[in-house]
Amino acid sequence: MDFVQEAVFLGVDVLVLGLCFREYYQLKKISKALKDAPQLAIDDTLTDRLRKSGNKINYGVIRGTVTPIGNPMHAVMSPSVTGVLQIMKLNEHRVARGFAGFWAEQRKLIHISCNEVPFKLASGKLGVEVVDGLSAEILDMDTVYDNYEPSSLSLFDHIFGFFSGVRQKGMQTTEEVLRDGSFITAVGELELDGDSVRLQPSTVAPMFLTTATKNTLVKKFEEAKNSMLFKVIVCGTISAVLVGLIAKKIYRRKKMEWEEQKLRDKLDKSRLQRRVQARQQVFSDEQRCVVCVDNPKEVICLPCGHVCLCENCAQKIKLNCPVCRSKIETKAAAFIT
């Protein structure tokens, strides 16, 4: 196989193409859902609008001020900050020996803890409760604490790290909070329950809680979609070129084989013709081919060594010697003078 390299590249490229295409499809879906999502004001018209749509809008956009229902929570690391969602992360920074033997910096999440208190997005006296805010795909929160502590490594740790391929550099603790009073955009499923409205994760597209406006969000997803489409086109072109190269190589090899076969046939034919011309017209019965008993013996079967066939019969008999029945490995033209 002289196209193994191309086949391996093609395999990798098709895999990347598949991943890019899936990502592109997702981005396209989200982008379309966002464009189609109505932007609704949090006022008296909202409940009417929901009632008209069968108490539910699958994907809608609202904007309002984060307001806790009840008491807000206090940030753990800076208690003066209050909010409604909180995420604490403990990350280990380390250098690890990578695939090619190089040391590269890595960040590994060691621990994550999340907390939430019920909250709503309010505008005036009215508000929409946000359910399951932590599951939002884009969740813009403020980092209220960020501390990095370098590790002090002993000589043993260094030696151990060299052999194990992982060396710790330090630990980073961060705390993020969605503060009460911040003005955000929420995108998700809107549902009317009695007189109250809530926003929750949708089945159409992911939920977002972001400081960006709807237009900015749409633009962001459009840009991501277009850059992914570009990757799909590049990967697709590479695949097409590789397929072309492989096909060309296969065609060339087949063509060579056909030409070789043609040449071989031509040579056999001309030898046969020369034989026919050179055949003595008069020869004894012992000199005749054992199969057709007409032409002279002209071919030797190997390894048994029996000269028993004429050229014409030798083309038909391929397996066993007609005299001793032993297996024919090869045949050669024999010239008896």
Which residues are near Zn ion by CB under 5 A?
289, 291-292, 295, 304, 306, 310, 313, 321, 323-324
CB of 239 to Zn ion, least distance (A): 55
- For the chain, the maximum distance between any two Cα atoms, rounded to a whole number of angstroms, is 124
Rounded Cα distance between 191 and 168, Å, is 48
Please, what is the minimum distance in Å from the beta carbon of residue 302 to Zn ion? 9
CB of residue 268 to Zn ion, shortest distance in Å: 15
Nearest to Zn ion of 195, 329 (CB atom): 329
Question: 63 vs 288, which CB is nearer to Zn ion?
Answer: 288
Cis peptide bond prior to 38, omega within 30° of 0: no
In the complex with Zn ion, the residue whose CB is nearer, 136 or 289, is: 289
Q: Rounded distance, CA 215 to CA 46, Å?
A: 21
3 state DSSP class of 6: helix
Minimum CB–partner distance for residue 256 and Zn ion (Å): 33
Which residue number, 209 or 300, has a Cβ lying nearer to Zn ion?
300
CA atoms within 13 A on the CB side of 283: 16
* Shortest separation between residue 295's beta carbon and Zn ion, angstroms: 5
Nearer to Zn ion, 66 or 307 (CB): 307
d(CA 31, CA 25): 10
Sign of the Cα torsion 149, 150, 155, 159 reads positive
